[in-house]
Amino acid sequence: MVDQKLLVKEVKKIVSRDDVKYVVGYKKGTHGFTISPAFAYSSEYVEKFIFNPLCKKNLAVYPILEEKLPLRRGDEEDTRKIGVVVKGCDARALIQIIQEKGLKREDLVIIGIPCSGVIDIRKLNSKLPNTKEYSEIIEDQDEYKITINGDVHNFAKEELLADFCTSCVAPNPLIYDVLIGEKVEPWAVQDHVGIKSLEDKKVLERWDYWEKHFQRCIRCYACREACPLCYCETCMADLLEPQWIRRSVNISENTAWNIMRAYHLAGRCVGCGECESVCPVNIPLMELNKKIEKEVKEMFSYTAGMDIEEKPLFGMFKPDDPEEFVL
């Protein structure tokens, strides 16, 4: 459990610094079990900051969205740092972006929170449908205790835990300036649930499986917007000249989009599960991400976002890299 008072106290200290522009963290959403990003430009806004097992969103997406607007004559560039609250997988996203030179470490103040897993809100909504508001969610040993209108609902942790957390390799942030709370004991990593059944399928069965999913894709690009590693200035999906993917929503173009997205994240995806959780039609994107992550690990002994000093996978070459797949 994170000490909320300590979180607020530390964030207040950080946001009061002259060299910090704002801090982004979490606050309670406006309905049900939703959680929203909270932006504090001064200490008075920090009181609403919280951290609980519903704080799943990867906030590493915000520093990367910071827009550097053209300066008017006489204006000086705003070089202040951005503070960001991170769990283990969010910190891995920052490491990956820093490796790729998308952000500079010195431009960030990282408030790390050791994480023992987050709740999959879809699982929770199916257990407690139509909940308008909760008063408290706490994790106690292997249980979640959820208080609604004075009644406490207990659930075994495994009933609500997000699937991607079972394969988490770094629940404790690997980089931080301030750590809120004690480090957690890492757990035995399990393969993501979908991979085994995916690998057991024959090629045509796999095609049927993905065709059924991809034809439901509405090309809203929520998966791209939520992903901290999807930060190209111009996404290939938006290019008109050349036009790699047409705007039409059909199985051919949807497949092109989903395969392109997954391959552009090869060796870069940190497994935070954001893409899958925001998909409005529940396409199991983590099965694709995890399958590629596994292949990358087996071929190159590489896991994304683990070491700030390491070069990104596609930014280095080793003479003994496997090349069997090169035609």
Return the ∠ at Cα 237 (arms to 236 and 239), rounded to 5°: 60
235 lies in the site for ligand SF4, by CB under 6 A: no
Q: Is 119 in the site for ligand SF4 (CB under 6 A)?
A: no
CA distance 43 to 38: 12
Amino acid (1-letter code) at residue 244: W
Q: Applying CB under 6 A, does 137 fall inside the site for ligand SF4?
A: no
Question: Does residue number 232 form part of the binding site for ligand SF4 (CB under 6 A)?
Answer: no
- Residues between 47 and 86 with contacts to ligand SF4, criterion CB under 6 A: none
Rule CB under 6 A: say whether 98 interacts with ligand SF4: no
How many beta carbons lie within 10 A of that of residue 297, not counting itself? 14
Our CB check for ligand SF4 shows the closer of 71 and 189 to be: 189
User: Taking CB under 6 A as the rule, does residue 244 contact ligand SF4?
Assistant: no
* Short-list 259, 149, 263, CA closest to 213: 259
CB of 100 to ligand SF4, least distance (A): 13
Using rule CB under 6 A, residue 124 touches ligand SF4: no
Cβ closest to ligand SF4, residue 110 vs residue 229? 229
Residue choice 119, 283, 296, 313 for contact with ligand SF4 (CB under 6 A): 283
3-state percent helix, strand, coil for the chain, nearest multiple of 5: 35, 15, 50
Residue-wise DSSP of 50-119:
B--TT----TTHHHHH---PPPPTT------EEEEEE-HHHHHHHHHHHHTTSS-GGGEEEEE------B
Q: 280 or 322: whose CB is closer to ligand SF4?
A: 280
Is residue 222 close enough to count as binding ligand SF4 by CB under 6 A? yes
**DSSP 3-state assignment of 320?**
coil
By CB under 6 A, tell whether 218 contacts ligand SF4. Answer: yes
Contact, 308 vs 105, CB < 8 A? yes
Q: Which residues in this chain contact ligand SF4 in the complex, by CB under 6 A?
A: 87-89, 93, 115, 117-118, 164-165, 168, 171, 217-223, 226-227, 229, 258, 265, 269-275, 279-281, 283, 289
